[in-house]
Amino acid sequence: MLIQNHPFDTLKLGDTAELTRLCTEEALLIFAAATGNHNPVHLPDSEVEGVASASGIYVAAVISAVVGNLLPGPGTITRSQRFVFHGAARAGDELRARVTVTALGADGTVTLATEVARTGDEGLILSGEAVVVAPRVKMSFEDGEVPGLIVQRHRHFKAMLERARPLPTLVTAVVCPDEVDALQGALLSWRESIITPILIGEGARIRKAALDCGADLSGLEIVEAGSDVAAAQLAVDMANAGRVQAIMKGHLHTDVLLHPMMDRVTGLRIGRRFTHVFVMDVPGQPGPLLVTDAAINIAPDLATKVDIVQNAIDLARSLGIAVPRVAILSAVETVNPAIASSIDAALLSKMAERGQIKGGSVDGPLAMDNAIDLAAARGKGLRGAVAGRAEVLVVPDIDAGNMLAKLLVFLAHAEAAGVVLGAKVPVILTSRSDSAMARLASAAVAAIHYHAR
């Protein structure tokens, strides 16, 4: 877009210009980060007020956009500004900013009447006056692209926590929470009313971990187990007996935890293969993104992929996605006999079409770009419900899944909640590198899925 200014000699009394700007929660967060003003009244999710109100300077800054872009425009220098505030702007308001020329000085200064109002009801928020030095020569510029900003905010996980808290707490066997991080994750979920933990392992080591982190275990049940293997087996026995509704990994290897669950006689099998799903809150994405399977099935065959897809669809529906859009990923978006994953993807898509996979919209093969980016999908001529708008990403193997999940965490600043599905009870997988939000979200996902199921 071409931006042109209005030199001083062309200005007349009564000249006016205006623009509109949407006040968003993201904009308020960016403004707080840029200015260092962290007054909670001006921040989303504030405990002070239900809806964040913009700071006065944020509203005033919209005036500077009119002056700098429109009237007088590029080359203008501000000398002074005076404001009177009549109300507050809030996240979700569309603001109309207007300036009007009221005086022209012999020294090249221009006096502008300024106002910002809320569109719709025209409620006046700000009025005032600005004195600026207008440019003397004509200028025009192509509006350069300002780098896009993504707020590192995990609103999808916060919504999940709000949904999980009113549910009955999930009685959860926490296996070997004998290390500080493992114990704190369980206790945090307990304090947030997501789970009621039963701690299984060597009691002395669990109490030592509690002492190291200053935690109080009063009121919690500790079930003694002499080894990691024994603790994992006890958790399975308790799930089979109906004493617990979920199992959470503590400080032990994942294969040790899962081994007794997979026993065909005494384990927790329900007919489907065990599969792992990362529920990821990626800043800038409109909803949570599910990645599967990145932790259990190393090189899944077609039958295993059917269970991977179905488990992910069931979880997505539990989380409130009515008809999950599932992309079966490959290196290409066309079937290539030399790329096995593209053949599997096409077969899975057809199986869903024939009702062998239920509850979701499944498409593949899709490359990563045209699975999640609508412009990339349309550029390849891909139509349909899934291409460019996928909510579930099914990877070809554990290598691809692990790399994708970690790239999203460490480069896109995502938070990742991990659960294992296909057992009688959800299995909450956490790791030492997980943040507090990821640990909470893993428990919340398990609770929501359990009660929805």
Write out pLDDT tens, residues 261-276: 999 999 999 989 999 9
Q: Which pLDDT band holds residue 437 (cuts at 50, 70, 90)?
A: confident
Q: What is the pLDDT of residue 449?
A: 96
Counting residues of the chain whose pLDDT is more than 90, the rounded percentage is: 74
Q: What is the pLDDT of residue 312?
A: 97
Q: What is the pLDDT of residue 375?
A: 86
Q: Which pLDDT band holds residue 445 (cuts at 50, 70, 90)?
A: very high
Same-fold call for 2-142 versus 271-422: no
Domain locations in the chain as residue ranges? 2-142, 169-268+427-435, 271-422
Q: Is the dihedral of CA 96, 88, 54, 49 positive or negative?
A: negative
Q: What is the pLDDT of residue 145?
A: 67
Q: What is the pLDDT of residue 57?
A: 92
Q: What is the pLDDT of residues 64-74, one digit of tens each?
A: 999 999 999 99
Q: What is the pLDDT of residues 187-196, one digit of tens each?
A: 999 999 999 9
Q: What is the pLDDT of residue 155?
A: 81
Q: Which pLDDT band holds residue 49 (cuts at 50, 70, 90)?
A: low
Domain 271-422 in this protein, CATH class = alpha beta
Q: What is the pLDDT of residue 77?
A: 95
- pLDDT(379) > 90: no
Q: What is the pLDDT of residue 44?
A: 74
Q: What is the pLDDT of residues 122-167, one digit of tens each?
A: 789 999 999 999 999 998 877 766 776 777 677 888 899 999 999 9
Q: What is the pLDDT of residues 200-228, one digit of tens each?
A: 999 999 999 999 989 999 989 999 998 99
Q: What is the pLDDT of residue 383?
A: 84
Q: What is the pLDDT of residue 50?
A: 56
Per the prediction, the chain carries an average pLDDT of 92
- pLDDT(46) > 60: no
Q: What is the pLDDT of residue 332?
A: 93
Query: If one looks up domain 169-268+427-435 in CATH, what number appears?
Result: 3.40.50.10950
Q: What is the pLDDT of residue 45?
A: 62
- pLDDT(48) > 60: no
SS3 letters for the chain?
CEEECCCHHHCCCCCEEEEEEECCHHHHHHHHHHHCCCCHHHCCCCCCCCCCECCHHHHHHHHHHHHHHCCCCCCCEEEEEEEEECCCCECCCEEEEEEEEEEECCCCEEEEEEEEEECCCCCEEEEEEEEEECCCCCCEEECCCCCCCCCCCCHHHHHHHHHHCCCCCEEEEEECCCCHHHHHHHHHHHHCCCEEEEEEECHHHHHHHHHHHCCCCCCCEEEECCCHHHHHHHHHHHHHCCCCCEEEECCCCHHHHHHHHHCCCCCCECCCCCEEEEEEECCCCCCCEEEECCCCCCCCCHHHHHHHHHHHHHHHHHCCCCCCEEEEECCCCCCCCCCHHHHHHHHHHHHHHCCCCCCCEEEEEECHHHHHCHHHHHHCCCCCCCCCCCCEEECCCHHHHHHHHHHHHHCCCCEEEEEEECECCCEEECCCCCCHHHHHHHHHHHHHHHHHC
Q: What is the pLDDT of residue 313?
A: 98
Give the Cα separation of 84 and 403 in Å (integer).
54
Q: What is the pLDDT of residues 382-430, one digit of tens each?
A: 988 999 999 999 999 999 999 999 999 999 889 999 999 999 999 999 8
Looking at CATH, the fold of the domain delimited by 2-142 is given as: Thiol Ester Dehydrase; Chain A (3.10.129)
**Arithmetic mean of pLDDT, 317-337:** 96
Q: What is the pLDDT of residue 277?
A: 97
Q: Which pLDDT band holds residue 51 (cuts at 50, 70, 90)?
A: low
Confirm whether pTM is higher than 0.85.
no
- pLDDT(280) > 70: yes
Q: Which pLDDT band holds residue 7 (cuts at 50, 70, 90)?
A: very high
Q: What is the pLDDT of residue 177?
A: 93
Specify whether the CB–CB gap between 248 and 428 falls below 8 A. Answer: yes
